[in-house]
Amino acid sequence: MHRRPGPIVVLAVLLVFPTLALGASLPIPAPPRINASSYVVLDADSGRVVAAMAPDLQVEPASLTKLMTAYVVFQALAAEQIALSDMVPVSANAYRTGGSRMFIEQGSQVSVENLLQGMIVQSGNDASVALAEYVAGTEAVFADLMNTFAAELGMVSTNFQNATGLPGDQHYSTARDMTTLARAIINEFPQYYAWYRQKSFTWGDIKQDNRNRLLWQDSSVDGMKTGYTEAAGYCLVSSAVRKDMRLVAAVMGTPSAKARIDASQSLLNYGYRFYETMTLYTTGQSVDSVRVWKGKSDEASLGVAAPVVVTVPRGARDELVPVVSVKRALYAPLAASTEVGELRITLDGELLATAPLVVLNDIERGGLWKRMTDEVSLWFE
């Protein structure tokens, strides 16, 4: 009895990287001990967490909240609902908001761009409320937008009640969620991220320095945001780039401004010392080839539609295991960009990355004789 191939054929192929580094990776020591309630350090490109302590502990985010306030405003700019040059009227509500201030005057008009700098650099609560009211009408509606975007980003342990970070009974987040948010700002809005490295901003003849002192201490650091309330303690989300590797760290609940800087510096140094990030495959790069039936060509070249980036212990590249899975027999015609399988990258059994595999070139239908001979061959597969 002849046997036809089933509707789904799984083909798994182990690949070997052509330029693997020699040598074995060194053991990874435990992260430094720091005086904080929680922290997370991750790579901004791969998303891999390289160090964490109580990453999902819900705490008050204080002025780290303004990262989400900025993210919502950046989304409104991207959607062309507002513009940086728009002049925003300063309400009595915004003017009277307590805490850190940009010192905008009630009844005045301030551009969106200046308000963003006042919020990002000076941590102005007044600027935050003015932006929230301009984007959403009221701060309460703006908080709903904040939570909508938080859910879309996967910030599952976060809830916002305001745009400033002033204490609220249901205003909370986690170190993990804060790094998720910071990573989204960095990757989605690089054109605005430069404000986070700005060391000072002057408004109304009042010059205020950025509270992120790491900007002065470490030249590789280029953001992001500090926070403090009595309940939250001293918090800092920071980001740095060294040799094209960007790390993001969120440190929550330290006892002093100096402690949050020291802790963040130690964690960033740890991540860079013991981990490295690499691009294994670039967009359009051939990963493997697979048999195609009834086509002018017998093989299709498979690749990835987006770069495959992983973060691994230093020296561990030669221990990575890439596996190609093609989930069905392939028949011509096949159009370029057709998704036909998956690439999986593992290290010591841990899944580091997955990526869809696509056909890189069109495969045209073969002639009658080719189709007939392939049909016969299929009966014996």
Catalytic center residues: 63, 66, 123
**Beta carbons within 8 Å of 148's beta carbon, 6+ residues apart:** none
Alpha carbon of 120 to those of 65, 73, 243: distances in Å? 11, 12, 26
- Annotate 234-248 with DSSP letters as a single string: EEEEEEEEETTEEEE
Number of C-beta neighbours around residue 216 at 10 A = 12
Length of the chain: 381
Amino acid at 69: T
- How many Å apart are CA 234 and CA 51, to the nearest integer? 19
DSSP 8-class letter at 35: S
| Residue 163 near residue 128, CB atoms below 8 Å | yes
Instruction: Return the closest-CA partner of residue 243 out of 85, 43, 35, 7.
Output: 43
- How many Å apart are CA 329 and CA 358, to the nearest integer? 14
Number of C-beta neighbours around residue 143 at 10 A = 23
| Residue 309 near residue 46, CB atoms below 8 Å | yes
